[in-house]
Structure 1
Amino acid sequence: MKPPLLFQQYQAAFNAYLRDPEQQVQQSGINTERLGIYREIVFNNFFTSVSACFPVLLSILGKRRLSQLTRCCFNSHHFASPLFADIPSAFVDYVQTLDLAKQDLPSFTAQLAHYEWVELYVAKLPDKERLTSPGAAVHQASDLAESFLQLAPAHMLLQYDYPVHQLSKKHVKLAASPAYLLVFRKADFDITFIELNAVTYDLLQRINSEQRPVNYHLTRLAQEILPDSPLQTVFDFGLQTLYTLYLQLAFVQNDS
């Protein structure tokens, strides 16, 4: 006679069966039909969380293909959180592990999933600093030259191999090309996406990683990235670009 399972063991076995009944043993004393209904309810809730967070991926793959991919994630992925709000993050992690060609998925699948998830992630980031109101101390682009800038606390600088922000059901055959994006949350909790070029992306990384005045970063940028360009041209471009972002509340200002 088998010894009785401890509750934690029973719970783990029950969970394993719900996720993958073909590979697991059903626990005794449970009605098979009811268990099947319960399993579909759990999966449908799981799929609802995925499809809501990844509408572009859903439109490209179609409901059946995304459902199959979601079920594979549901069956096999290790989840670090029991919260439904964390399902999209787990799905992104799962897709990153796949051999996309072997799974017959578009080569941009993992990066598109990450891009669509970013909005949810930035929305939940802590915001410990207040954004500086534009115009209070800065009236034109040149006023930023001596400033110490820092990107809004709730932000992400993103680099992809595909123009994921241009993908849609009607535009799936886009050639691979680098895409640079800034995503940040404003004081009113609006999430803003801004497309960058490679030079601006590099400049923002420099500003965010080292607290130095803007003119220092522009000088280094000119020396290391744009040595063939006149220094004044680099300064004019950089200051105007940063001023545009400043007016959109992409920065906090730290003159201390």
Structure 2
Amino acid sequence: MPDSLHDQLQTLASHVRDPQRHAPPPGIEARRLAVYRQLFLGNIASLLEGAFPVLSASLGAQRWQALVEAFYAEHRCQTPLFTEVAGEFVGYLEQASVELPEWAAELAHYEWVETALLLGEDREADHDPEGDLLDGVPVLSAQAWPLAYAWPVADIGPDYLPDAAPTAPTLLLARRGADQQVHFSRLAPLAHALLLSLQQWQLTGREHLQALTEISGIELEIVHRQGLALLQALRDQGVVLGTRPNCANLRRLSPAIRPTH
């Protein structure tokens, strides 16, 4: 018999999480333990279904329930905040014990992005909104995330469950607009590469375009012309906020969010 309150609570928690693997604590009738499990598991199930409606519907009730129960039994959240549990679930799917379709982890990440952007901080980096986009360092809004997925996550749903990933990736821009809604738009490869470069590197606009030229193999004049027009359009849309002065010591920036696959 557990000899401390901590041991008693640990025994109770382990049984409520996974009654098939952990014996119930002594002295508590099975009916009450079942009520505890129903309440706690039900709260998590409701929270996750609200955060991942397309994933839950696409997996079907039985497979979704098995996934939620596995997450509840196996995962130990590192946050006490209910608003961050969805992010923990996305991470869990990378090594979930339940057999899932190959697109499941990416679809979950795609759905989570909307929640993450809605709940993200409003603070933006210091910038000059009228700065020179070629000689200055373009500043990407913290509310704009370039994303790349192997699977067509924007199209997957109960009526479309692909068996194989397409040859071309799905390239998207997710951003929270002034209307406080999250908008997704598809990106051409050059636009995605430029946004990813802006997210990861503190370079002048001219240096970003030079790097894209080397990566793509396209002539510098073409990349320069199209890239400058794209930078100007992105600033008009609020995706690029403006610029900051060029610094002698360039540094790599930490990418805010990346897709799971």
What is the TM-score when the length of structure 2 is the normalising length?
A: 0.82
Retained in 2: the 8 A contact 1:163–1:174?
no
Q: In terms of mean alpha carbon deviation, does 77-86 or 52-61 score higher?
A: 77-86
Give the AA of the match of 1:207.
L
- Asked which structure has the greater RCO (Cα within 8 Å, sep 6+), the reply is 2
> Aligned runs of 1:52-63 on 2, under 5 Å?
52-63=50-61
> Aligned runs of 1:27-176 on 2, under 5 Å?
27-98=25-96, 103=99, 105-129=100-124, 137=130, 144-173=133-162, 175-176=164-165
Partner deviation per Cα, 1:105-125 (whole Å, 9 max, x = no partner): 221011111111112222333
Partner deviation per Cα, 1:54-90 (whole Å, 9 max, x = no partner): 1111221122221111111111222223333232122
Unmatched runs of 5 consecutive residues or more in structure 2: 246-261
Deviation at 1:152, TM superposition (A): 0.9
> Aligned runs of 1:192-231 on 2, under 5 Å?
192-222=183-213, 224-227=214-217, 229-231=218-220
Deviation at 1:126, TM superposition (A): 2.6
How far, CA to CA, are the matches of 1:216 and 1:13 in structure 2?
A: 59
Partner deviation per Cα, 1:127-166 (whole Å, 9 max, x = no partner): 3227989xx738xxxx633342121123433221112112
Change (3 A) 1:243 1:172: farther
Give the AA of the match of 1:226.
S
Counterpart in the other structure of 1:252: 241
Deviation at 1:187, TM superposition (A): 4.8
Change (3 A) 1:13 1:203: same
Backbone CA RMSD of aligned residues? 2.5
State the SS of the aligned residue for 2:154. helix
Change (3 A) 1:182 1:131: farther
Match of 1:238 among 215, 227, 247: 227
Give the AA of the match of 1:182.
L
How far, CA to CA, are the matches of 1:226 and 1:18 in structure 2?
A: 54
Counterpart in the other structure of 2:258: none
Q: In terms of mean alpha carbon deviation, does 121-130 or 88-97 score higher?
A: 121-130
What is the TM-score when the length of structure 1 is the normalising length?
A: 0.83
Counterpart in the other structure of 2:257: none
Change (3 A) 1:208 1:22: closer
Unmatched runs of 5 consecutive residues or more in structure 1: none
The percent identity for this pair of structures is 29
- Equivalenced residue count is 243
Give the AA of the match of 1:117.
W
Give the AA of the match of 2:123.
K
How far, CA to CA, are the matches of 1:184 and 1:195 in structure 2?
A: 12
